[in-house]
Amino acid sequence: MGKNKLFRFAENATFDHVVQPTFTELSEKGLPLRGRWNSDFFKRDAPLVLELGCGRGEYTVGLARLQPQNNYVGVDIKGARLWRGARTAREEGLTNVGFLRTHVDHITRCFGPHEVDQIWLTFSDPQLEKPRKRLTSPLFLARYKEILKPGGVIHLKTDSPVLYEYTLEMIAEHKLPLYEQSANVYTDLVHRVSPEEQAVLNIRTYYESMWLEEGRTIHYARFGIR
């Protein structure tokens, strides 16, 4: 393993805002923080927002800067990636940010029923060969329904037309409320939303920056759960 990775893993272990449950811990009892993120982790009552597959945590940290009134948790399986977000949050003194290193399949073992207000899915792997594993598949929508509050919201931002169209199909099939959709965020959506929403949509993740450089189009959907 590279020195950089080892350094990042070691530093993650010193961060009290990075939670790294073991598989056994999760499968036996679930995360002790489950249902208690606001009271025991953030120590304040505020809307709880997740970013699933957060990578380097640009959305988690970017949203936390823009909307300090919310609590944010970035979730990713790769510790060396989420370290970047954790380090930035620490350097900037952001107290409304946490990171959880786990597999998204464990999400209902980590968050309690109706504990979460919003979920961001940012440039998730489109899983071209395995639609069941897509983060907007019926399996995942059922998981989100469990952890989201009634009226909770899911944001999808993606460069993948396959994932975008698939998500719109799932929304229609499950008769979910669709609040916003755009096949091209930057030529369409940003011109018809408030400056606050523009700032949110303009956050660029590592993958988004790469795809924009390649000239790819960015899609967005915001929808609810029933």
Ligand X SMILES: C[S@@+](CC[C@H](N)C(=O)[O-])C[C@H]1O[C@@H](n2cnc3c(N)ncnc32)[C@H](O)[C@@H]1O
Name the site residues for ligand X (rule: CB under 6 A).
Answer: 53-55, 76-78, 81, 103-104, 122-125, 205-208
Catalytic residue among 40, 105, 125, 159: 125
Q: How far is the CB of 208 from ligand X (least distance, A)?
A: 6
Q: How far is the CB of 155 from ligand X (least distance, A)?
A: 12
Strands (E), 59-138: 71-76, 97-101, 116-122
| Closest to 20 in 3D by CA, of 96, 92, 103, 93 | 103
91-to-15, 61, 88, 139 alpha-carbon distances in Å: 12, 11, 5, 37
Q: Which residues pair with 128 in a beta bridge?
A: none
How far apart are the C-alpha atoms of 226 and 98, rounded to whole Å?
27
Q: How far is the CB of 107 from ligand X (least distance, A)?
A: 9
Identify which of residues 49 and 54 has a Cβ nearer to ligand X in the complex.
Answer: 54
Nearest residue to ligand X, by Cβ distance, number only: 55
Identify which of residues 44 and 86 has a Cβ nearer to ligand X in the complex.
Answer: 86
Residue 205 contacts residue 55 (beta carbons within 8 Å): yes
| Closest to 101 in 3D by CA, of 33, 18, 5 | 18
Edge-to-edge strands of the sheet including 71-76? 18-19, 97-101, 71-76, 48-52, 116-122, 148-158, 219-224, 178-182
Residue 98, phi then psi, degrees to nearest 5? -135, 165
Give the distance from CA 202 to its chain's centroid: 16
Active site residue 125: yes
Q: How far is the CB of 122 from ligand X (least distance, A)?
A: 4
Q: How far is the CB of 66 from ligand X (least distance, A)?
A: 17
Identify which of residues 1 and 195 has a Cβ nearer to ligand X in the complex.
Answer: 1
Identify which of residues 138 and 177 has a Cβ nearer to ligand X in the complex.
Answer: 138
Identify which of residues 36 and 78 has a Cβ nearer to ligand X in the complex.
Answer: 78
Pairing mode of beta strands 178-182, 219-224? antiparallel
Show which residues are catalytic: 125
